[in-house]
Amino acid sequence: MNRLPLRGPGAAALAFVLSACATDQLTDAAGRGASLELQAASGPSLVINEIMPNPAAVSDDVGEWFEVYNAGTAAVDLLNYAIASNNDAVHVINQSVVVPAGGYAVLARSGDPAVNGGVAANYSYAHQTFNLNNSATDWLALRDPSGASVDSVSWGTTSPPNGASRGVVDALADNLVMSGPNWSTQTTVYGLGDRGTPGAANDGAATPPPPPPPPAPGTGVLVINEILADPRAVADAAGEWFEVHNAGTAAVDLQGWTIASLNDAPHVVSASVVVPAGGFAVLGRNGDAATNGGVTVSYVYAGATTVNLGNGTDWLALRDAAGASVDSVVWTSTVAGTSRALIDPASDNLNVNGAAWTNSEALFGAGDRGTPGAANASGGGGGGGGEAGVVASVTVSINSPRQIPVGYTKPAFANARDGANQTVTGVAYTWTSSAPSIAAVDSMGYIQGRGVGTATITATAPNGVSGSAQIGILEADVPTTAVYRSHVEFGTPAAPGVLVSKREFVSSYSETRGGPNWVSWNLNATHFGPAARCDCFTADQTLPAGTTPVVDFNYRNGGYDRGHMVQSESRTATYQENAATFLLTNILPQAGENNQGPWVQFENYLNDLARQQGKEIYVVAGGEYSANPATLKNEGRVQVPEWTWKVAVVMDGGQGLAQVHGHGDLRVLAVRMPNDTAAARGIRNHPWQTYQTTVDHIEARTGYDLLSALPNAVERIVESGTRAPVAATDGPYVGIEGSPVTLDASGSSDPDGDALSFAWSFGDGATGTGARPAHTWADNGTYAVRVIVSDPYGAADTATTTVTVMNVAPQVAAFAGGQLLQGETYAAAGSFADPGADSWTATVDYGDGSGARPLALAGTGFALSHRYAAAGTFTVTVRVTDDDGAAGVRTATVVVQSPAQAVEALAGDVDGLAADGAIARGAAVSLNAKLRAAGASLARGDRATAVNQLEAFVHEVRAMADSGRIPAADAAALTAAARRIAASVQSL
């Protein structure tokens, strides 16, 4: 049951009961007016009424909130109240937040409805320092300015729902466990679509009833003599009971009588229960001695009107059949596993916590303490209060949950009190186990699980007074749904020590340091579940023989947290997996400000990446030590690291080393946080990002090669923390084939200011370097160009652009024309040029009507040849076409004379020689006469005669030459011309 301070109308009822004591309204068995010295809390009645740990419409960082309800009759200002949560820094409310009577206040991580999912918050607490976890391991508490607990809620056994809050059904009932029956999942939609009722009554909330009336005064001889409100051997619902003693002289039958208790429906005894004079009757919630802790019960009051005996503030009254109060008692606290017994039935028994009552010492049944159905420790119905300072009772407590797997340890704590209910210190207890083969216990109270089952652990004071508690031992291992990938996926750092490989992690344990050099583990969404926190710090029994293990006591009162490397919350698929995180091969001393501040923030950040974004994460963490490290309690056993560090490799779900091809395939985060108590002072509220560093820096400080399995190029980049350059070009570009185009990537930049190098791929098989290379493309087309811009560490970025290269037509060079005679063949050689790597075709048209014809090419050259049968002036056209259809054209002129025209021209040459004095005028007349005769023959079509006449011309010229009447050169020219004309004539 909830052990928190009583709230709301319940508190008012208790106050009424206590005030009634002063006016004889509450009746004790002795019939005397009882004045109880204890006071009910008169402070505010605040209830943690609604909690949203896991919003879906927005992220947890901005969407978490919880609601406080004021069940009292006066407004309460929360200024300087504190809120606390598991593993989070305590946050003190630093502004006025008034919660009106019967009203609500919403406290949220973000106060902006535009980003928090639509919640109108009354107060916003810093999201870096306080969060509501989504697993079942969290709790939330509200404390007043004095530090006293006002209310607190545990998440319980199941994780909160996604996208819906949990709300209290009855604000006056036990609200301790959020997964319990007094809480319900809210259905009203608010804001962006999550479900909840922030600032309003919860869905299905019960209307608070008025405070129950106090029991009426009365008289009687029956005494409420012994009460066990908080059994430990069994659950409260099975093991609560109280005892009635008949101090009179006649038997009394309780049938028809009424049992009443705070906040419970009265129960009327429905069967005959005879309490003999001087005797006892035990009334309990469960009549089965096999399940109620071993109590023989006279009457069972279970059913629809079950009376609950509160472990905190409560009262109990017994009324006769007429409704008159016979006896009533009140208490504000109880002792687990131990009944409170009335010492003297004739004394004022109103205050169960007062001197008239004592803690029972005798064991009964399953191990709780009490004397149900029998006289108390001494005298009549009770016994003496005991001597001050002498142990009168011992209670044994074991942190919840009271269970460990085989092979693990958990401490039990003993507390002794004397007859005045004062704590007795310095007691040398003897520890024993009811089943050492199941659970052994050492001289310091450390329990070790040895076999599956249940055992009772007992601490006995030197005077024989003892106390006990039960513990369950679970199987060492169970099947799990968690999927574990390699914990050393990216390397196993070399370090002196022992390599310890677990299903849950790999640890490099140093006996010298008394802790791990480093711990490495995989983290993904399958590792989270409903398992509770084991809280079982244990020496690792798998260390090699001869290795001195560290034990929990080495840490006890050492001034440092027992800091998990693998976080407990990230191993909650099964209880056994969670227990593994408490092995001391996974623990380092951590300053509280570090462990509970930025360190847990970073843990929660990685957990959110795994659970909410489905990331696969590989983590390695450890300590960095000074040359002469301090040790816990100066014992020289466990060294305290000066810094703690952590490196996380973040990838998409299911990925690992095989999927790393470049530095962009993974994200690496590294932190290094001060861990010396003095150096860490004040860092609790610092964001984890304050302590980001590089892997290179951690490696330089520790000597470890943390990510050695990465490809060297990738390792160099991600470990240095260098930022990749940003590549840029001023493309796209346009050019022509055969001419250079200048490319420009000088606009690229580097965030770190590093010098850059450039590697180009031009798209035509060629490559280049430099920021502004020039490149010539041999053929037209569109080319994809890429430039890789790299810094000195190998970090690179790529830019792409295009170059469009335009085609250039072939250029045909000038070629010779010709002067021909009819029937002669024209011949010329030509060539062309083309900057492109093309193929070509060519045609030639000789201009004589024969049309264009293919022209054979020899590389970029060609030869022309054509016989002209007719006289005239002709244009020779050469066309060269490339494979893209572009053409180059060049022409030349060929003049073709008829033989008659040639004879006439030759006659003119003869006249010219005469005019120049090269021949005599008479000789010229003779020669021209032959030429005119040849011309006349040609005119008549007598080609044979014309040829003979031309031959006669030749013979005469030769004779003239032989006789010296014409220069030899001129004679040769005239002779050649005449013979050429004759050949022309003969060819026709």
Q: What CA–CA distance (Å, rounded) separates 394 from 462? A: 11
Which residues are bridge partners to 77 per DSSP?
98
pLDDT digits over 44-91, tens only?
Answer: 589 999 999 999 999 888 899 999 999 888 888 999 898 988 877 788
Q: Tell me, what's the pLDDT at 127?
A: 56
Closest Cα to residue 802, out of 777, 829, 783, 780? 783
Alpha carbon of 876 to those of 819, 842, 868: distances in Å? 13, 13, 12
Q: What is the chain's Cα-based Rg?
A: 55
Q: What CA–CA distance (Å, rounded) separates 158 from 144? A: 28
pLDDT digits over 514-547, tens only?
Answer: 999 999 999 999 999 999 999 999 999 999 998 8
Q: What CA–CA distance (Å, rounded) separates 303 from 259? A: 13
What architecture does CATH give domain 1-37+215-380?
Answer: Sandwich (2.60)
- When pLDDT is cut at 50, 70 and 90, the band that residue 584 belongs to is very high
Q: Judge if 1-37+215-380 and 811-896 fold alike in CATH terms.
A: yes
Q: What CA–CA distance (Å, rounded) separates 386 from 378? A: 10
Alpha carbon of 272 to those of 240, 265, 275, 885: distances in Å? 21, 21, 10, 120
> What is the rounded average pLDDT of the residues 955-960?
95
Give the other-Cβ count within 10 Å of 126's Cβ: 12
Q: Show Cβ contacts of residue 29 under 8 Å, excluding neighbours closer than 6 positions.
A: 220, 221, 222, 223, 224, 247, 326, 327, 345, 346, 349
Residues 650/652/655/659 CA torsion (nearest 10 deg): -90
Q: Tell me, what's the pLDDT at 262?
A: 82
Burial class (CB in 10 A: 0-12, 13-18, 19+), 627: exposed
130-134, 164-168, 201-205, 972-976: lowest mean pLDDT where?
Answer: 130-134
Q: Show Cβ contacts of residue 280 under 8 Å, excluding neighbours closer than 6 positions.
A: 225, 243, 244, 245, 246, 373, 374, 375, 381
CATH classification for the domain delimited by 498-720, as one of 3.40.640.10, 3.40.1080.10, 1.20.1250.20, 3.40.570.10: 3.40.570.10
- When pLDDT is cut at 50, 70 and 90, the band that residue 789 belongs to is very high
Please provide the DSSP assignment of 479-547 as one string: --------TTTT-----SSEEEE-SS-EEEEETTTTEEEEEEEEE-GGG--SPPP----B--TTSPTT-
Indicate the CATH number for domain 811-896.
2.60.40.650
Query: Using CA of residue 171, residue 177, residue 181, residue 184, what is the dihedral sign?
Result: positive
- Class for the domain spanning 733-803: mainly beta
Which residues are bridge partners to 711 per DSSP?
none
Closest Cα to residue 454, out of 466, 439, 467? 439
Alpha carbon 170 to its chain centroid, in Å, reads 37
- Buried-state track 535-566, b at ≥16 Cβ within 10 A, e below 16: bbbbbbeebeeeeebbbbbbbeebebbbbbbb
Alpha carbon 489 to its chain centroid, in Å, reads 18
**Residue-averaged pLDDT of the chain:** 89
Catalytic residue among 564, 663, 686, 866: 564
Q: What CA–CA distance (Å, rounded) separates 775 from 782? A: 14
Element counts in the chain: helices (H) and strands (E): 12, 60
Assign domain 43-195 to its CATH superfamily.
Lamin Tail domain (2.60.40.1260)
Asked whether the whole model's pTM tops 0.95, one would answer no
pLDDT digits over 148-164, tens only?
Answer: 778 888 888 888 899 99
- CATH 3.40.1160.10 for the 394-474 domain, yes or no: no
Provide the residue ranges of all domains of the chain, joining segments of one domain with +.
Answer: 1-37+215-380, 43-195, 394-474, 498-720, 733-803, 811-896, 899-987
- When pLDDT is cut at 50, 70 and 90, the band that residue 129 belongs to is low
pLDDT digits over 21-39, tens only?
Answer: 322 233 444 443 332 222 2
Q: Is 527 a catalytic residue?
A: no
